[in-house]
Structure 1
């Protein structure tokens, strides 16, 4: 092994270790690895950042923008609305949801497809008195299976297609992945629907009311006439107890006019009534420190009475009520002249700016006009002060905001709405326009009229120009950590190849496979990549494995196509751990899953994928 190869392997091993440790975000780890290899002289400085212009990176970014356009047009919402009519049999619900998500994942970002159908799955589970755990893991695995259907279904397919161009002069086409992907997807969905969902852990379902118990923490307080805070702002009031109590002002009543989520700079008048969200200890501290009184009390009564807690619980029923017009949602609303105030459950995604930060540090009320009323983690409500909680990916938040701003706020905060998400009414003209633009792009790729990157960027631009994707949402829709990861790992993959590292690994596999048939070598490669994709990002796994697959094929003197196709399938099917793919991580908290739950369904799924894909690969792409 040469010095250069030793450096590359050392950097890759350190990178893999940091990916598994998951202390730092994977894009930062990949960028550090790229800089290390560049400084070591293994990559010319002038080409270190060439990955940003790589066709695979550009294609992934374009697909993400197109996915946002399809969502905004209501294309998938129109499908989701029909799913609420499939009946209450568990296997029918699993089959329908998993199949539809798989189909959508073949043509749009699979995480986006999962995010759209998660609220539908949770709503269906709750309507039938079941835990969402029996639906959500099958849903996540369905999104992974569907990504194998087309070239744009998942980043590994895009990466493998571009690697094939470098060795053959022509990339895999849009539907070259379909024969193998369709076989794997159909068999996988049938297995999940008939048998697999029974292997998922059955967690006890906690409804939003049971999980958060919001009503028990809402209390009405009044501002006495001679109180020190008359003529001062809400901000001054809250600051007085910020270090000792955790309180939120969610409403203000003045002269029989109610204001939901009043400005924190609202000046208080005598006899104002404040709707306060706080636990009993914080409530008592607030009353003692500020001289506010429970509505049922007179100013002369003892505000430090131990009766504060039961009175608080009794006074909450009228404060917020469920709208009769939205019986199919867990959203809680109260109409007023300022619009409807909404409580919505949302999950923090891995790329959310909330990760590692607290609500007070981010100024959510001031900057985004939202209140975080409660936080649940791994199925349990966190009881520490909200202002001190540092959010983590997978946390479920109970968010309060006006109906007109809540969706935009959740988008900005990188949170996905759960069961409270209302399906938008799809406008036929927008659905037709979005579907038409996408279909034209797919046609140009399928008939080789334009390269995939050019066709998809053109479609993305057309969606922006037609306002299907507002300019402000263009870059919000692009998952920048994935883009940076790809842009950094592609040059590292090239360094592995140019230093002879790929050849060294391939030679090792050839030695192992000398006494085995070619199909067995394909099996070994596939198992290795599948294992790798369960501990690091699937795109990174594809980047590292593709050069090895090409060298291995050359050493065996066979076509690289079956090897590359095996890498694409294996990298996309990370079923064993929640960290292998964003889809797996997204369903972890809402489904109440633990790290070790995934292998129960994931192991038979992995075996099934390998057993189905290898014969089909050898049939369609022979050596």
Structure 2
């Protein structure tokens, strides 16, 4: 069969796209959008075909799943897994077992990309507590999420996107949520077994690059036991405050008295002020512990809407109006709309509780503030330097069970066929916003726009191969190569797609190859 000029142009664009994505610094979304614009300009595809990916049900299902996972992240839902599932294993293999099995199971029902993104900070924190190198846990985490994603249609964005393409072409061939499980479960179990048996032996035991540049500064950090929280009447040991890596509980201030020697059996009371010493990274970790809140010296509007807060590091200038004043007496929180969580002076901790510390020039403050604080005070004479830390402020812990309930409710509705996957994900995302599990800002930040744009643009490139006839010609060539054997065609498809995913994103590879494989399958009948 002979290919038309449009077909040659489509093939040429595809052959150019792959090396560009593999070797250039441009993102895959930019390259694929550029390819779609070129194909539309040359008349290979029309505007409807170019924009067809933006109306695909699979794309929107992926987007709504991102919002659902953002709700779990904002409510500290992963902390429940760390507390009740991960725990404190006795060996590295035990740690891998506690990590990989729940990750694989969760990835079967939640898009694996946000699962990994949500788990990474939790695993970093967990590895510090276990004194394990995070590198030996992070790579198995990634592989476990991929293996779990093969179990259901919800598992990966690629599953959802290819299923959306299948529905567009053959609406009657729609698949159920668990139709992939009979293949996915054995594959996942085999892969997890390999990781558990050989995983501890393969990664080299070395310190990360980041450790060479670790922040040696020691902060004084003050937190308060929430009177209505889960830590009231628990001992220090039971609350998990005894074995915190890079953190040490120095003293407890209770009703005007100071407990200076804090033993593991010391019982916590509501309103206790806990004074820790540790690094800024450890201070970020402390914010994630359920039942602890920043010390409250006075009331301000900061008490409301804490889900939008960020952790900020600020260096006090010699022109700051609070120089020489106590943090508590100066009403720092009321004036700046920011709560002082920790203070560091000359790289060392400051003795005493934070409220009694008199500020000096060059003091480094760890603040909990709303996003506008950074822009408002970046040029302020009160601070020499302001930077946002890589870590969110306190999650809304009390809504964590609701966030998990919304996720599993959406999965259950889709699995039972009550709603389509798109409708179930859409309903779950809407309820996450309406119930306050996830703010609009957090939902926007949770959307991986690069992945979504890459998927949408891939549809335009795939449409060019289909409409120009290039897919049919290439499908016929593939059939000739495998001598019309369906098994060889399946093996060849796996091989080609696996090779392409080494060069480009898996979504782009699947969408571009889809029309070629479908043409070959149709020819086989």
TM-score, normalised to structure 1, is 0.58
1:596 — aligned with what? none
Q: Deviations over 1:79-109 (max 9, x none)?
A: 1222452413111111221222222222223
1:546 — aligned with what? 514
1:503 aligns with 2:511: no
Q: Is contact 2:107-2:146 (8 Å) kept?
A: yes
Q: Helix, strand or coil: the match of 2:349?
A: coil
CA distance in structure 2 between the aligned counterparts of 1:318 and 1:75, rounded to whole angstroms? 32
1:39 — aligned with what? 41
Which is further off, 2-11 or 101-110? Answer: 101-110
CA distance in structure 1 between the aligned counterparts of 2:139 and 2:378, rounded to whole angstroms? 30
CA distance in structure 1 between the aligned counterparts of 2:22 and 2:209, rounded to whole angstroms? 31
The 3 A distance-change label for structure 1 pair 209 and 485 is closer
1:48 — aligned with what? 50
Q: How big is the alpha-carbon RMSD for the aligned residues of Structure 1 and Structure 2?
A: 3.8
2:96 — aligned with what? 94
Alignment of 1:296-375 (within 5 A): 315-319=346-350, 341-342=365-366, 366-367=374-375
Q: Deviations over 1:533-586 (max 9, x none)?
A: 1221111111012222212222333xxxxxxxxxxxxxxxxxxxxxxxxxxxxx
Q: Helix, strand or coil: the match of 1:169?
A: helix
Q: Is contact 2:103-2:148 (8 Å) kept?
A: yes
Q: Is contact 2:29-2:451 (8 Å) kept?
A: yes
2:323 corresponds, among 250, 254, 259, to 254
Q: Helix, strand or coil: the match of 1:249?
A: strand
Q: Helix, strand or coil: the match of 1:119?
A: helix
1:193 aligns with 2:193: no
* TM superposition shift of 1:425: 7.3
Q: Is contact 1:463-1:469 (8 Å) kept?
A: yes
* TM superposition shift of 1:476: 2.2
Q: Is contact 2:462-2:515 (8 Å) kept?
A: yes
Q: Helix, strand or coil: the match of 1:476?
A: helix
CA distance in structure 2 between the aligned counterparts of 1:527 and 1:83, rounded to whole angstroms? 37
Q: Deviations over 1:335-361 (max 9, x none)?
A: 9699x94499xxxxxxxxxxxxxxxxx
2:187 — aligned with what? 184
The 3 A distance-change label for structure 1 pair 532 and 209 is closer
The 3 A distance-change label for structure 1 pair 458 and 83 is closer
* TM superposition shift of 1:138: 0.6
Q: Helix, strand or coil: the match of 1:475?
A: helix
The 3 A distance-change label for structure 1 pair 86 and 547 is farther
CA distance in structure 2 between the aligned counterparts of 1:446 and 1:116, rounded to whole angstroms? 24
Which is further off, 206-215 or 530-539? Answer: 206-215
Q: Helix, strand or coil: the match of 2:90?
A: coil
* TM superposition shift of 1:211: 2.6
TM-score, normalised to structure 2, is 0.68
* TM superposition shift of 1:62: 0.9
Superposition misfits of 4+ residues, deviation over 6 angstroms: 333-338, 368-371
Q: Helix, strand or coil: the match of 2:315?
A: strand
Alignment of 1:6-85 (within 5 A): 6-85=8-87
2:492 — aligned with what? 524
1:454 — aligned with what? 423
Q: Deviations over 1:42-72 (max 9, x none)?
A: 1112442232111111111111111112333
